[in-house]
Amino acid sequence: MMPSLFCAIVGPTAVGKTELSLALAEQLHCEILCVDSMQVYRGLDIGAAKPTAEEQNRVTHYGLDLASPLENYSASRFAEYAEPILKSYASRNQPLILCGGTGLYYRALLEGLFTVPDPDPLLRAHLMQRLQTENAAALYHELRQCDSETAEKIHPNDGKRLVRALEIIHQTGKTITILKKEQTKKTWIDHTCFIGIERDKNDLSARIEKRTDWMYRNGLLVETRQLLDMGCTTGNTALQAIGYKECVAHLQGDLSYKEAVEQTITGTRQYAKRQMTWFRRQFKTQWINLSKIKDLRETVRESLQFLSNGGMYISL
């Protein structure tokens, strides 16, 4: 067994990853690398559930505020930023907590992404038109026919990823499964212990509703207006995030306040479900159901046991 240097805390949005990562980092006397595609943007604090100033003062965090919201940040850029951090910690044999729910960022950092051509505008437009006229189910069926292994890792309703997968296949003449086998993989994943945290459906749903209400009451609309004033549009990744896009619709008069909140809750629940599906299929993970554990200290103890079993040296 490869010794574990890194602990990745994964799971759906609103499940409690930040709280557990802070408690573990303090217990292990280590720092945290945030692995979140929205927390990399400056100005996305409330809607991205970024660790607060007080939480960042408790434990040093990496991976936050890396880009302007006017940029479209990518998983490959994140990997370029974060890999030197992993190398630094590995060279000193020091543990590091990775915390976040963006699966593609984990994949890019720990294993690497296979090289593919840049998007073809004409092919992309054709596939997007098919998505609109034939719906996602038709594209999913086509992907299953030519690359069933890749199709198993994509939600049937995830039109964006289905379009990109078919685009790559058309451009290269190879399935994504074959392209991945041809790539030279990084080995960081062999030194990473994954701890997944989950909750019962009703418990997580209630937490999502409560957090969404808190966000709207504590400045999400103001934060969104500030992004618009900076020049952000719905073409920027930052304003495509759940919560921000609903706020934009409300500010533009397309949704009432109540409708914006309700659609944010619904979108967040759907996203949480997709996250769980992705993590269960991608990484070997030890899962802890927080609905069955009421004491954070018990969760920390269980997590430390998983880390110890995974080969991480625990010095308390």
State yes or no: pLDDT of 165 exceeds 60.
Answer: yes
pTM: 0.81
* Mean pLDDT, residues 151-180 taken together: 91
What is the percent of the chain with per-residue pLDDT over 70, rounded to a whole number? 97
Sign of the dihedral defined by the CA atoms of residues 94, 99, 103, 105, in that order: negative
State yes or no: pLDDT of 2 exceeds 90.
Answer: no
Q: What is the mean pLDDT of the chain?
A: 92
- Residue 300: pLDDT band (50, 70, 90) is confident
List the chain domain ranges.
6-113+185-309, 121-182
Q: Pick 117 or 150 by higher pLDDT.
A: 150
pLDDT of residue 295: 82
pLDDT of residue 304: 80
* Mean pLDDT, residues 131-152 taken together: 94
Q: Pick 306 or 217 by higher pLDDT.
A: 217
- Residue 298: pLDDT band (50, 70, 90) is confident
> How many beta carbons lie within 10 A of that of residue 45, not counting itself?
18
What is the rounded CA–CA span in Å between residue 184 and residue 115?
10
* Mean pLDDT, residues 161-185 taken together: 89
Task: Report helix, strand or coil for 41.
Answer: strand
pLDDT, tens digit (0-9, with 9 covering 90-100), for 90-141: 999 999 999 999 999 999 999 998 777 778 889 999 999 999 999 999 999 9
Provide the strand spans (E) within the chain.
6-10, 31-34, 61-62, 96-99, 192-198, 285-289
Task: Report helix, strand or coil for 227.
Answer: helix
pLDDT of residue 24: 92
Identity of residue 196? G
State yes or no: pLDDT of 287 exceeds 50.
Answer: yes
How are strands ordered across the β-sheet holding 192-198?
A: 61-62, 31-34, 96-99, 6-10, 192-198, 285-289
Structure tokens at 73: 């940040």
CA distances in angstroms from 170 to 15, 122, 175, 182, 294, listed in the order given: 38, 12, 9, 17, 50
State yes or no: pLDDT of 302 exceeds 90.
Answer: no
Q: Are 75 and 105 in contact (CB under 8 A)?
A: yes
* CATH code for residues 6-113+185-309: 3.40.50.300
pLDDT of residue 313: 46
Q: Pick 28 or 304 by higher pLDDT.
A: 28
State yes or no: pLDDT of 1 exceeds 80.
Answer: no
Residues whose CB is less than 8 angstroms from the CB of residue 294 and which lie 6 or more positions away in sequence, other chains included: none
Identity of residue 260? A
What is the percent of the chain with per-residue pLDDT over 90, rounded to a whole number? 78
State yes or no: pLDDT of 315 exceeds 50.
Answer: no
- CATH 1.10.20.140 applies to domain 121-182: yes
pLDDT of residue 248: 97
pLDDT of residue 201: 96
* Mean pLDDT, residues 278-291 taken together: 90
State yes or no: pLDDT of 311 exceeds 80.
Answer: no
Identity of residue 181? K
pLDDT, tens digit (0-9, with 9 covering 90-100), for 28-84: 999 999 999 999 999 999 999 999 999 999 999 999 999 999 998 999 899 999 999
